[in-house]
Amino acid sequence: MEGPRSVGRLALFDLDDTLVDRGRGFARWAREFALSRGWGEREERWLLASDQESTGGRREFFGRVREEFGLAESADELWAGYRSRMPDLVVCPPETLNGLTALRRAGWRVGVVTNGAHDNQSAKIERTGIGAVVDGFCTSGELGIRKPDARVFRVAAERCGADLARGGWMVGDHPTDDIAGGRAAGLHTVWITHGRPRPAGTPAELEAADATEAIALLGRRS
């Protein structure tokens, strides 16, 4: 593992459950989806639990949804409907948007690096207002490679007009994709705890409860 280089003024952020509350957005989607089909709380709870237990991609998840409820639509059709709706159901808090703006005004290059389908993730970034307050972003769906691959972080840095060789920071909630991946790419890291204890072996230099707190920590290092 390469480890962090001398710190440059680059801050990369994960999207889901870092800049936006993906879990809350999914709960809104599950409620809508259940109601649209005349289902009740049992089916809604199944969707929420299955999402929490899912370790594969969304296509696999919707394959299970289709099988569980005997739906006529294909998994791809269900997934497409989900991708078109989710960007309207997630929110980036105003204080986080303001913090990202303040970082850029202080001279930081700010970007987003996220795993997921490009149409879904890019629409989230634009509709939440994040796209207007960052220098660039990249998605795994667009690139065909996923975090923790160091190449994803390199592309994100380049789109922000920064050189990954000069170092910087990665902020995220996933111990492997964001923290270990960021460190392997030569970045310092901030782990978003959401009140959780740090998993053993998570090599983050800093911890923050949420993205707003993480931004404040970075701002004090300006």
pLDDT tens digit sequence for 121-163? 999 999 999 999 999 999 999 999 999 999 999 999 999 999 9
Residue 198 predicted with pLDDT over 90? no
pLDDT band at 23 (very low <50, low <70, confident <90, very high): very high
Q: In the chain, how many domains are there? A: 2
Q: Are residues 150 and 168 in the same domain?
A: yes
CA distances from 75 to 54, 61, 81, 186, 219 (A): 15, 8, 10, 38, 44
Express each pLDDT in 62-116 by its tens digit. Answer: 999 999 999 999 999 999 999 999 999 999 999 999 999 999 999 999 999 999 9
Q: Are residues 100 and 208 in the same domain?
A: yes
> Would you say residue 139 lies in a domain?
yes
> Would you say residue 5 lies in a domain?
no
Q: Are residues 69 and 159 in the same domain?
A: no
Average pLDDT over residues 25-46: 98
Q: Are residues 213 and 114 in the same domain?
A: yes
Query: Among residues of the chain, what percentage have pLDDT more than 70?
Result: 96
Find out whether 4 and 186 touch, Cβ atoms under 8 Å: yes
Q: Among the three residues 88, 108, 123, which one is the final residue of a domain in this structure?
A: 88
pLDDT at 199: 80
Q: Among the three residues 58, 88, 118, which one is the final residue of a domain in this structure?
A: 88
Q: Are residues 35 and 111 in the same domain?
A: no
Find out whether 157 and 168 touch, Cβ atoms under 8 Å: yes
Average pLDDT over residues 22-28: 97
pLDDT band at 222 (very low <50, low <70, confident <90, very high): low
Nearest to 181 by CA among 148, 203, 145: 148
Domain that holds residue 109: 10-21+91-219
pLDDT at 5: 47
Q: Among the three residues 88, 119, 138, which one is the final residue of a domain in this structure?
A: 88
pLDDT at 54: 83
Q: Are residues 115 and 35 in the same domain?
A: no
> Would you say residue 2 lies in a domain?
no
User: CATH no. for residue 133?
Assistant: 3.40.50.1000
Find out whether 25 and 90 touch, Cβ atoms under 8 Å: yes
